[in-house]
Structure 1
Amino acid sequence: MLSHTYAICAYKDSPWLEECIRSLKRQSVPSEIILCTSTPSKYIQAMAEIFGLPLYVRDGESDIQADWNFAYSKAKTRLVTIAHQDDCYHKNYGKYVQECWEQYPDTTVFTTDCGILRNSDPVNPGMVQFVKHLLRVPLRFHGLADRTWIKRLPLILGNPIICPSCTYDKEALGEPLFDSPYKFALDWDTMWKLAERPGRFICEEKPLISYRIHSGATTKECIENHRRAQEEEAMFRKIWPEPVVRVIMWFYRKAYRAYQ
């Protein structure tokens, strides 16, 4: 069994942090769990003590890319999942991670489908989730998933890869993992770059995490301050000519309503 760590990025005092930790503690295949934060507090310290988790504190101003890279760097294992504090993981998530690398040792990124939570209640994933399913279809052809064009094909109309569902091969990818000028689209930008490198992207099309949408979520914040639209438009310009970008963005702006 390959060594694997869940590096939880804890930010301020999330009411769902404990639920996230418990979902990782319940894994059918146990892995290491660490807590990482740039906003230390008594609450986060208490969570670390209650569950017996190592706690790592990053000095400096909170920044999503720096925080994710910090959490990734603190994992001492080959495989790393950067867990988001508001989300929950299916008990067999780690089992599928192990099975993936047993079958395809050259995998660099493992990802899954997700269920959606709004506050504490499941909601209908709707058209946005259906489109993401379709975009991820190329990654389900595991035998071809080491080709750059196969890895990039799901990314040409957006990013259907759910960031907290990803596990990375740290030995293959090195550090830092994220290197992007973007705040919202940094995971999309990173996947686009990683697709050029050797290795396989594997998608297990099962909802092995539950992704939470709430009023304090980065997704909602980036929509409200228009950062998301600006960064997604910039990403599309890397891929498509300007007339195509304008058409795609018209549909994207309508899709933002799913988060409102």
Structure 2
Amino acid sequence: MKHSFVICAYKESPFLEECIQSLEKQTVKSTIKMVTSTPNEYIADMAKKHNIELIVNEGQGGIVQDWNFGYKQIDTPYVTIAHQDDVYFPEYTETLLKEFERSKHPLIFFTDYWELRNGEYVKENKLLKVKRIMLIPLKTRLFFNSRFVRRRILSFGSPICCPSVGYVRANLPNPIFEVGFRSNEDWQAWEKLSKLKGSFIYCKKPLVAHRIHEDSETSAIIADNKRSDEDEVMFSKFWPKFIVKILVKFYAKGQDSNNM
């Protein structure tokens, strides 16, 4: 197989099995592994039930550390770090493989997405509209290889759906993510990767459902204002200070979309 999913399992998520089942229902099969830094009977039972290799991260835990650890456990050319609360639609892997194989030097693949709230799919809201508008330039394949275009997009925020991202291991640095971020670990990674030569491949078809719920890490970060601090760090990579202050205030309004 050319592609693997690595599920980063944390504590006892009631949505973990739904995520696993969505990976098993892919039209093209992938290797599936699971990693955790919070080993418990629930996670072990899920892995055993679905015949998935479970690898325990006995080093430092944390969202970034777990993602980097999971990434290192994969030996296939392509990998997707599956988020335990989210759902992957059946054509995700098939589409990823087709896009990677037709690209000369792919870096990452990512897709549009829906939100999943209280068991219902939300196909459109203010946040989704804004992200789709930001990604309009990448609807044209001509711009997949443009470092200028993707850096301009990222200078206004991160419209890339992290759970949907597939990585080409041979063309990327390792580790992908930097320890120190709790909210913008993905935005930081995209900013770093945006400087590389190669393709950011965007599929405008929604192939992932990202779950929004009150116990999510994103909701916790917003509650303690940590996200605004990290937004300032990221905007500073693109803009002078006086513009950064304006963007941070504007960007903070979008955080309301993650509240239940």
- Per the alignment, do residues 124 and 94 of structure 1 end up closer, same or farther by CA in structure 2, a change over 3 Å counting? closer
Larger mean Cα displacement after TM superposition, 141-150 or 113-122: 141-150
- SS of the equivalent of 2:145 reads coil
- Residues 181-234 of structure 1: CA distance to partner in whole angstroms, max 9, x if unpaired? 322111101110111112110000111000000111111111001111110111
* 1:180–1:189 Cα contact (<8 Å) kept: no
The aligned counterpart of 1:54 is: 53
- The equivalent residue for 1:44 is 43
Matches for 1:32-111 after TM superposition, within 5 Å: 32-111=31-110
Distance 1:119 1:72 in 2: 30
Aligned length: 259
Deviation at 1:101, TM superposition (A): 1.2
Find the aligned partners of 1:124 and 1:6 in 2 and give their Cα distance: 24
Deviates more, 1:36-45 or 1:100-109: 100-109
SS at match of 2:200: strand
State the 1:140 CA deviation: 2.2
Q: Output the CA distance in 1 between the equivalents of 2:234 and 2:138.
A: 20
Q: Return the offset for 1:237.
A: 1.5
Question: What is the CA–CA distance in structure 2 between the aligned matches of 1:119 and 1:113, rounded to whole Å?
Answer: 20
2:154 is matched with: 155
| Paired AA for residue 188 in structure 1 | W
SS of the aligned residue for 1:168 comes to strand
TM-aligned CA distance change 1:244 to 1:8, over 3 Å: same
Q: Percent identity?
A: 38
The answer as to whether partners of 1:108 and 1:201 remain within 8 angstroms in 2 is yes
The CA RMSD over aligned residues, in Å, is 1.3
- Partner of 1:179: helix, strand, or coil? coil
Tell me, in whole angstroms, the C-alpha distance in 1 between the residues paired with 2:221 and 2:123.
22
8 Å Cα contact 1:78/1:169 also seen in 2? yes
**In the alignment, residue 65 of structure 1 is paired with which amino acid?**
V
AA of the residue aligned to 1:37: T
Query: 1:180, CA displacement in angstroms?
Result: 4.8
TM-score, reference length from structure 1: 0.96
Equivalents in 1 of 2:153, 2:73: separation in Å?
30
Answer yes or no: is the 8 Å Cα contact 2:108–2:167 preserved in 1: yes
Partner Cα separation in structure 2 for residue 72 and residue 61 of structure 1: 15
2:230 aligns to what? 231
Q: Given residue 52 of structure 1, which amino acid in structure 2 is its aligned partner?
A: N
Tell whether the 8 Å contact from 1:180 to 1:190 is kept in structure 2 after alignment: no
Give per-residue Cα distances to partners, 1:9-41, cap 9 Å, x unaligned. Answer: 000110010000000000001111001100111
Question: 1:123: how far off?
Answer: 3.2
User: Conserved in 2, the CA contact under 8 Å of 1:137 and 1:154?
Assistant: no
Identify unmatched segments of 5+ residues in structure 1: none
1:166 equivalent in alignment to 2:165: yes
In the TM superposition, what is the alpha-carbon distance from 1:119 to its structure 2 partner? 3.2
Gap runs ≥5 in structure 2: none
Query: Contact conserved, 2:7 with 2:70, CA < 8 A, in 1?
Result: yes
How far off is 1:138 after superposition? 2.3
Deviation at 1:248, TM superposition (A): 1.6
Q: Distance in 2 between matches of 1:88 and 1:259?
A: 17
In structure 2, the CA distance between the partners of 1:115 and 1:124, relative to structure 1 (3 Å rule), is: closer
Equivalent position amino acid for 2:121 in 1 = P
